[in-house]
Amino acid sequence: MNKRSIVPEGPPRIPPTALVTGASRGLGRALAAGLAREGYDLILDARNAGDLRAAAAGLPGTVTAIAGDITDAAHRAALARAAQAAGRLDLLVNNAGTLGASPLPALADYPVGELRNAFEVNVVAPIALTQLLLPLLRASGGAVLNITSDAAVEAYAGWGGYGAAKAALEQASNVLAAEELAVRVWWADPGDLRTDMHQQAFPGQDISDRPRPETVVPAFIRLVAQRLPSGRYRAAHLLPVTS
Ligand SMILES: NC(=O)c1ccc[n+]([C@@H]2O[C@H](COP(=O)([O-])OP(=O)(O)OC[C@H]3O[C@@H](n4cnc5c(N)ncnc54)[C@H](OP(=O)(O)O)[C@@H]3O)[C@@H](O)[C@H]2O)c1
């Protein structure tokens, strides 16, 4: 006689799903790969479709790549439809960002159009995308991870446009955390990373001493896996200390 217990068939289990913006390169690409390795299905975006396809290729699990600009309401709606089609959303990573004007101008000379664009990409779009996805995130007891910067809290000359936008994203995150008690809200500074954006901030300089984005992925996986309390984090403080 077969003594194994017979488990009644329930509805098919839907894997946890994460939506990562700006996932075609840099930190977003590394985070997407890390989450895929942890068993997440993914919804990914970036504007350049070819780069996004290349980043999505070969990742384990179900990956839905939708090219578009997060400042475009129709694109954000397409991302939300993909999350609804997936049946659940456990994590939204608002990672896509812009440095704004480069070389970094002083605020006295900051082109106002570039300033407005920095706020559109770094603040308005992540808030608008979060609004669309909150119902799914509430339903799953999910989380929002907003990628910010030390420039949000430190006064570096030249970083006023980017820093003011990141500061606004930080305070929006802080208020969201107070309002959405069923959802974790983290806003996190990854630290300096060897990426295109960082190179844009230091044109012509050798940035090869900056760590690769992959090095901070374990910090963010820890945040997610341990479901740490809502709040501001620095990747460096979440990583194990190495000698
Ligand atoms: N690198 C650092 O040292 C550092 C330090 C602190 C914080 N951060 C933050 O970390 C995040 C990632 O930065 P990164 O250094 O990895 O930058 P990156 O290498 O320039 O990558 C940015 C990603 O976002 C996408 N993106 C940019 N604008 C977009 C838009 N409007 N709509 C959709 N996708 C868009 C880019 O693809 P497309 O160009 O194809 O759209 C790319 O996939 C940013 O929020 C940044 O502020 C970075």
pLDDT digits (tens, 9 = 90+) for 82-103: 999 999 999 999 999 999 999 9
User: What would the DSSP string read from start to end of 144-167?
Assistant: EEEE--GGGTS--TT-HHHHHHHH
Q: What is the pLDDT of residues 208-236, one digit of tens each?
A: 999 999 999 999 999 999 999 999 999 99
187 pLDDT tier (thresholds 50, 70, 90): very high
Contact 14, 200 (CB under 8 A): no
What the block records as the tokens of 128 is 């608008």
User: Does residue 109 surpass a pLDDT of 80?
Assistant: yes
202 pLDDT tier (thresholds 50, 70, 90): very high
**What residue type is assigned to position 52 of the chain?**
L
Q: Is the CB of 55 under 6 A from ligand 1?
A: no
Query: Mind telling me the catalytic residues?
Result: 162
Q: What was the pLDDT predicted at 1?
A: 41
* Ligand 1 atom 14 nearest Cα: 26
* Ligand 1 atom 37 nearest Cα: 46
Contact 83, 42 (CB under 8 A): no
Q: For residue 125, how far is its CA from the centre of ligand 1 (angstroms)?
A: 13
- What b/e string do you get for 101-112 counting C-beta neighbours within 10 Å, with b at 16 or more? bbebbeeeebee
Q: What is the pTM of this model?
A: 0.95
User: Does residue 142 surpass a pLDDT of 80?
Assistant: yes
* Ligand 1 atom 19 nearest Cα: 26
Contact 182, 141 (CB under 8 A): yes
Sign of torsion, CA 55 58 63 64? positive
242 pLDDT tier (thresholds 50, 70, 90): low
Q: Is 74 left (phi over 0), alpha (psi -120 to 50) or beta?
A: alpha
* Ligand 1 atom 31 nearest Cα: 69
CA nearest to 182, candidates 146, 230, 224:
230
Q: For residue 58, how far is its CA from the centre of ligand 1 (angstroms)?
A: 21
User: Does residue 3 surpass a pLDDT of 50?
Assistant: no
Q: What is the pLDDT of residues 17-26, one digit of tens each?
A: 999 999 999 9
Q: Is the CB of 28 under 6 A from ligand 1?
A: yes
Q: Is the CB of 171 under 6 A from ligand 1?
A: no
Q: For residue 3, how far is its CA from the centre of ligand 1 (angstroms)?
A: 55
- Count Cβ atoms within 10 A of the Cβ of residue 206 and give its class: 0-12 exposed, 13-18 middle, 19 or more buried: exposed
Q: Is the CB of 154 under 6 A from ligand 1?
A: no
- Of the chain, the percentage scoring pLDDT greater than 70 comes to 95
Q: What was the pLDDT predicted at 7?
A: 61
Residue to probe by mutation, ligand 1, list 195, 209, 232, most atoms within 8 Å of CB:
195
User: Does residue 2 surpass a pLDDT of 50?
Assistant: no
Give, rounded to a whole angstrom, the gap between the first and last alpha carbons of the chain.
Answer: 57
5 pLDDT tier (thresholds 50, 70, 90): low
CA distance 35 to 31: 6
